[in-house]
Amino acid sequence: MVESKTGVFLGFDAVITNPPYIRIQDLSNEEKDYYEEHYQVAKGSYELANLFVELASKIVNDKSNTCFIMPHKFMNTANGFTLRKLLENGSLDSFTVSKLVHFGANQIFNDVTTYTCIISFDKLNNKSLKYNKIPFIKSAGSYDNKVKQITTKMYDISSFSSISIDDLTNAYKLYGNNENNWILFNSNLEYKIFEKIMNADNPTIKDIAYKFMTGLQTSLDDLYFLEMTHDNGSSFDFKLNYPKGNLTQLTDIEKRYFKNVYKGEDVQRYKKLQTNRYVFFPYDLDKTQSPYKATLADLSYIQINCPNTYRYIMSNKEGFEKREKGKLKGSNDFYRYIYPKNLSDFEQEKLMSMEITTDKANFTLDTDNSYHTTTIYSLIKKPGRTHQKTLDNT
């Protein structure tokens, strides 16, 4: 801490912190009101860690050094929009980024899963920053050994590149990104290649894609997911692991309301999708409409036309009803999805990617109208476009 000769507080020489990783949704209304009144970055769906960056800018002196370990998602999510903008133009009293170590998908803490970076700030109104992206370490034995490997790479001076703030802003402008998400490069050569690609008159994902979508949210996968043990032609035999550890054999279950479903672990580059996992999907698709329309199947209809499916539903009614703290308890449609997103979009050709990838993109082409969970994202092409051409041009 520095004081003037008259005892006036001039600011700290250094601040080192691991701020709390708390979302706005976990704050009380009183806390939110206070933060939004006193902090510029308290806008939108912010996280508390972002506020600590602004606080640090207020309590350090002009010759200080500040270092945070914090979630790196502030660099490319809506909750970090204001913070990114203020750091880019030095609006936090010339408080800007001097160095950034990005851990990617590497897990730094042994007892919690979170995606972090180490970021250094000073008040020199920097026009560039030093950047080091740590490659994903797939298998390092013990946790201590993994940390040792990460630390070695983190302190390797040759692994750092210099990124100008101009290149940082130009990159997201070239990408057509109105949210100023940071696109960081390991070298100036990578930036130049990116610049050349974006300035070329070639189709981009934006030109090809109709939408990116997430997967089914059942709120209780153990109940909705079944393992197919035999295909009887018009029906399936299933193995149900619900409650967990309690295996139940279901025979001659009508196929109508069961769809093959994939998880992120099933998606592998260049490999055909294969699974014997099915999801209970109690919806009918009207394919005469464009886009298709999904309508919840009436329970009385299922009882008459799919009696074995009806028995599966009713024998597990308590499980269906207890989802999301009993939101549908006592409701006639207790078996429906509580969050029915993208229900009509699965039955078409699409590119599927696991939710979190490491050092390579992990896409596979689905031509079998497959369904998937929230650990997979799908790219749906625009009419007239083909995914095959997209793959051939990459």
pLDDT in tens, 141-152: 788 888 899 999
Place of tokens 């507080």: 9
- Give CA–CA dist 11/361, Å, rounded: 45
pLDDT at 389: 42
Q: What's the Rg (C-alpha) of the chain?
A: 26
pLDDT at 9: 82
What is the mean pLDDT of the segment spanning 84-105?
Answer: 92
pLDDT at 4: 60
Render pLDDT for 100-109 as a digit per residue (tens, 0 to 9). 999 988 889 8
Q: What is the mean pLDDT of the chain?
A: 89
CB-facing half-sphere around the CA of 143: CA atoms within 13 A: 6
Domains located in the chain, CATH noted: 2-167 (3.40.50.150), 213-392 (no CATH)
What is the mean pLDDT of the segment spanning 3-14?
Answer: 78
In percent, the amount of the chain with pLDDT more than 70 equals 94
pLDDT at 386: 63
Give the predicted TM-score (pTM) of the model. 0.57
- Give CA–CA dist 209/388, Å, rounded: 13
Tokens linked to 145: 């050994």
In percent, the amount of the chain with pLDDT more than 90 equals 60
Whether 349 has a pLDDT exceeding 60, the answer reads yes
pLDDT at 394: 40
For 38, phi and psi rounded to 5 degrees? -110, -10
Place of tokens 């994939």: 262
Spell out a b/e string for 71-96, using b for 16 or more CB atoms within 10 Å of the CB, else e.
Answer: bbbbbbbebbbbbbebbbebebeebb
What is the mean pLDDT of the segment spanning 16-39?
Answer: 91
List, in order, residues 6 or more apart from 36 with CB less than 8 Å away: 42, 43
At 5, the pLDDT band (50, 70, 90 cuts) reads: low
Question: How far is CA 173 from its chain centroid?
Answer: 22
Tell me, letter by letter, the H, E, C secondary structure of the chain: CEECCCCCEEEEEEEEECCCCCEHHHCCHHHHHHHHHHCCCCCCCCEHHHHHHHHHHHHEEEEEEEEEEEEHHHHCCHHHHHHHHHHHHCCCCCCEEEEEEECCCCCCCCCCCCCEEEEEEECCCCCEEEEEECCCCCCCCCHHHHHHHHHHHHCCHHHCEEEEHHHHHHHHHHCCCCCCCCCCCCCHHHHHHHHHHHHCCCCCHHHHEEEEECCECCCCHHHHEEEEEEECCCEEEEEEECCCCCEEEEEEEECCCEEEEECHHHCCCCCCCCCCEEEECCEEEECCCCCCEEEECCHHHHHHHCHHHHHHHHHCHHHHHHHHHHCCCCCCCCCCCCCCCCCCCCCCCEEEEECCCCCCCCEEEECCCCEEECCEEEEEECCCCCHHHHHHCC
CB 326 within 8 A of CB 338: no
Span of 173-182, 207-216, 281-290 with lowest mean pLDDT: 173-182
pLDDT at 339: 93
At 1, the pLDDT band (50, 70, 90 cuts) reads: low
Whether 263 has a pLDDT exceeding 60, the answer reads yes
Between 368 and 268, the more confident residue is 368
Render pLDDT for 301-345 as a digit per residue (tens, 0 to 9). 999 999 999 999 999 999 999 999 899 999 999 999 999 999 999
- Give CA–CA dist 66/119, Å, rounded: 8
**Region for 72 from its dihedrals, namely left if φ exceeds 0, alpha if ψ lies in -120 to 50, beta otherwise:** alpha
**How far is residue 220 from each of residues 34, 314, 320, 345, measured CA to CA in Å?**
37, 16, 8, 21
What is the mean pLDDT of the segment spanning 208-220?
Answer: 90
pLDDT at 296: 97
Place of tokens 């409701």: 331
Between 251 and 23, the more confident residue is 251
